[in-house]
Amino acid sequence: MKEITRDKNYTFRQLNQNDVEEFNDLLSYAFQVTSSELKDSGWEDKDDIKRSKRPIFEFSYVLGCFYKGKLASQIVIYPMEVNIQGEIFQMGGLTGVTTYPEYMGHGLSHALIKKGLKYMRENGQTISFLYPYSIPYYRKQGWEIVSDQMTFSIKDTQLPHKRPVEGMIERVDINDEDMKNIYKYFAMQHHGALIRGEFEWQEYWRWDSDDMMAAVYYSKEEKPLGYVIYFIENDIMHIKEIIYLNSEAKNGIWNFISAHYSMVTEVRGYNYTGDTIAFQFDDSEIKETIEPYIMARIVDVEAFMNQYPFQNCDNNSKFYFMVHDSTAPWNEGIFYLHFEDDEAICEKVEEYEESYLVELDVSILTAMMLGYKRPTYLYNNEYIKVDYYLLKPLEMLIDAKKPYFSDYF
């Protein structure tokens, strides 16, 4: 196959607002979004959604591959922020990776992703998140699963009994500022959470119907402490997200949900905490399922490791990470991690000490650093190569918290 970067028929350039129609046509074709589906989500027509996407070109980096002047493939990179173990990282949100079928098999998406990673690195986005249409494909590009989506189904007879709380809950507009402030505090406290600004909230609501509702729990001092986002359809209450800052708010929200027992026969929802909720119910025989959700990849190993908040830093500790990354060549090689005055220092080196070596792919490094899989688990399942005695100090370096990520883009 001829390398497309050397084929003069293919050209790459950043898209702008003049390309909105071609951009939207490719998205609509690739994801087969029909007019009826748009209306179900609250859009009047395709022109309506085109207008809504114009801010994407102001806020994001949109890169296209053209064949003889016609858009053939494209990617979008959102400049975002994410909480990683209490530290706010610049993150490249990769989305809109689409190619017309007649151009598939020519490596267009791969070429765009390589260029996109280079762009992220140059702009200080040391990590990238995406929602995968194909996990195997993105694993080949260096991304790995880092969070799960749990779904639950609770019969009306299984809803928890009312618990005493001092505050009260109020239904609010879905753009309520109290709700946004609750999430802001939540995201600053929870590893893996996306920091939502105005654009991120727009993306959060983009494909939801007009029937979506929200309710906020207030303490007796009228402080907003939690919220639930939901809609009711065909006697089923669908929960999009539950966020609370303390147990009082959690109880108040579930009191509100349970108060719908005469209106619904079932409550269905999503849980992104990494823990099942059945244990919290008197009747724990509820149905819960789990599936992979968000993938991530470290864009720049050296920069990422230098910002990462390691635990239990010991000036005597040192590691050599031999990283394999065929898509981002600057990550291919050996990175020496050591500590001075409780500060991590990571630098790319040529030589290493065999007894302190950890060998792994960039995708596995990402899953490990984000706490999705522990070093011992990865060692036992042959994802990393390391001397057994190094596992304990490696375990102590990385916080055991699993990422919380509930957004879709």
Q: Of 219, 229, 222, 220, whose CA–CA distance to 179 is shortest?
A: 229
How confident is the model over 364-382, as pLDDT tens digits?
Answer: 999 999 999 999 999 999 9
Per the CB < 8 A criterion, the answer to whether 335 and 347 are in contact is: yes
Would you put residue 222 in left (φ > 0), alpha (ψ -120 to 50) or beta? left
Banded pLDDT at 161 (limits 50, 70, 90):
very high
Long-range contacts of 161-165 (CB under 8 A, 24+ apart): 161/258, 161/282, 162/255, 162/258, 162/259, 163/251, 163/254, 163/255, 165/217, 165/248, 165/251, 165/252, 165/255
What pLDDT score does 6 carry?
60
Quickly state the pLDDT bin for 15 (edges 50, 70, 90): very high
Joined tokens for residue 171: 């239904």
For the four alpha carbons of 251, 200, 82 and 136, in that order, the dihedral sign comes to: positive
Q: Where are the alpha helices (DSSP H) in 133-259?
A: 135-140, 177-189, 198-205, 247-258
Torsions phi, psi for 179 (to 5 deg) = -65, -40
Point out the least confidently predicted range of 19-28, 189-198, 216-225, 383-392.
19-28
Does residue 259 surpass a pLDDT of 60? yes
pLDDT grade for 399, boundaries at 50, 70 and 90 = very high
pTM: 0.91
Which tens digit of pLDDT belongs to each residue from 98-117? 999 999 999 999 999 999 99
Check pLDDT > 70 for residue 43. Answer: no
Six-digit token string for 287: 């149905």
Domains within the chain, CATH numbers bracketed: 4-125 (3.40.630.30), 150-291 (3.40.630.30), 300-397 (3.30.1050.10)
Q: In this predicted structure, which of 57-61, 247-251, 381-385 has the lowest mean pLDDT?
A: 57-61
Residue 150 has pLDDT above 60, yes or no: yes
Residue 243 to residue 396: CA distance in whole angstroms: 29
Which pLDDT does position 117 carry in this prediction? Answer: 98
Q: Once rounded to an integer, what is the mean pLDDT over residues 251-279?
A: 93
| Cβ atoms < 10 Å from Cβ of 341 | 7
49 has a pLDDT exceeding 80: no
Write down the pLDDT at residue 264: 97
pLDDT score, position 8: 80
1 Cα distance to chain centroid: 34
Residue pLDDT, tens place only, 69-95: 999 999 999 999 999 999 999 999 999
Mean confidence (pLDDT) of the chain: 92
CA atoms within a 13 Å half-sphere pointing along the CA-CB vector of 197: 7
